[in-house]
Amino acid sequence: MSANRPTEATEESAARAASGGDGAAPDTYDVIVLGGGPVGENVADRVHAAGLSAVVVEHELVGGECSYWACMPSKALLRPVTARSEARRVPGLSDAVAGPLDAPAVLAHRDATVSYWKDDGQVRWLDSVGLDLVRGRARLAGPRRVTVEGGRTLVARHAVAVCTGSRPVLPNVPGLAAAKPWTSREATSAKAVPGRLVIVGGGVVGVEMATAWRALGASVTLLVRGDGLLPRMEPFAGHLVAESLAEAGVFLRTGVEVSEVRREAPGGPVTVLLDTGDEIVADELLIATGRAPRTEDLGLETVGLTPGGWLEVDDTLRVDGVPGGWLYGVGDVNHRALLTHQGKYQARVAGAVIAARARGVPLLETDRWGAHVATADRHAVPQVVFSDPEAAAVGLSAAEAERAGYRIRVIDHDLGAVAGASLYADGYRGRARMVVDLDREVLLGVTFVGPGVGELLHSATVAVAGEVPIERLWHAVPAYPTISEVWLRLLEAFRGD
Of 370-399, binders to its own copies (CB under 8 A) are 370-371, 375-376, 380-384, 392
| Residues 247, 251: Cα–Cα separation, whole Å | 10
Nearer to its own copies, 49 or 408 (CB): 49
Does residue 363 touch its own copies according to CB under 8 A? Answer: no
Nearer to its own copies, 356 or 468 (CB): 468
For residue 292, the minimal CB distance to its own copies (Å) is 22
259 Cβ contact list (under 8 Å, min separation 6): 173, 174, 273, 274, 275
Q: What is the largest CA-CA distance in the chain?
A: 70
Nearer to its own copies, 83 or 177 (CB): 83
User: How far are the Cα atoms of 53, 154, 299 from residue 143, in angstroms, in the given order?
Assistant: 18, 11, 11
Using DSSP bridges, classify how beta strands 442-450 and 408-414 pair: parallel, antiparallel or unpaired: unpaired
Does residue 211 touch its own copies according to CB under 8 A? Answer: no
Does residue 34 touch its own copies according to CB under 8 A? Answer: no
Q: Provide the residue type at 257 as one letter.
A: E
Task: Tell me the angle at which helices 38-49 and 7-18 cross, rounded to the nearest 10 degrees.
Answer: 50
Does residue 86 touch its own copies according to CB under 8 A? Answer: yes
Does residue 465 touch its own copies according to CB under 8 A? Answer: yes
For residue 111, the minimal CB distance to its own copies (Å) is 11
For residue 114, the minimal CB distance to its own copies (Å) is 11
User: How far are the Cα atoms of 185, 192, 268, 295, 349 from residue 178, in angstroms, in the given order?
Assistant: 17, 22, 13, 24, 42
Does residue 84 touch its own copies according to CB under 8 A? Answer: yes
Q: Provide the residue type at 170 as one letter.
A: L
Nearer to its own copies, 319 or 456 (CB): 456
Nearer to its own copies, 3 or 408 (CB): 3
Q: What angle do CA 340, 452, 85 make, to 5 degrees?
A: 110
Question: By CB under 8 A, what part of segment 89-148 binds its own copies?
Answer: 90-97, 99, 101-103, 105-106, 108-109, 113
Does residue 433 touch its own copies according to CB under 8 A? Answer: no
Per-residue interface string for the shown chain with its own copies, residues 165-184, x marking contact by CB under 8 A: --------------------
Per-residue interface string for the shown chain with its own copies, residues 37-56, x marking contact by CB under 8 A: ------------x-------
Nearer to its own copies, 200 or 218 (CB): 218
For 384, left (φ over 0), alpha (ψ -120 to 50), or beta?
Answer: beta
Total chain residues near its own copies (CB under 8 A): 100
| Residues 199, 288: Cα–Cα separation, whole Å | 7
Question: By CB under 8 A, what part of segment 336-355 binds its own copies?
Answer: 339-342, 344-345, 348
| Residues 87, 211: Cα–Cα separation, whole Å | 16
Distance of CA 401 to the CA centre of its chain: 22
Nearer to its own copies, 83 or 192 (CB): 83
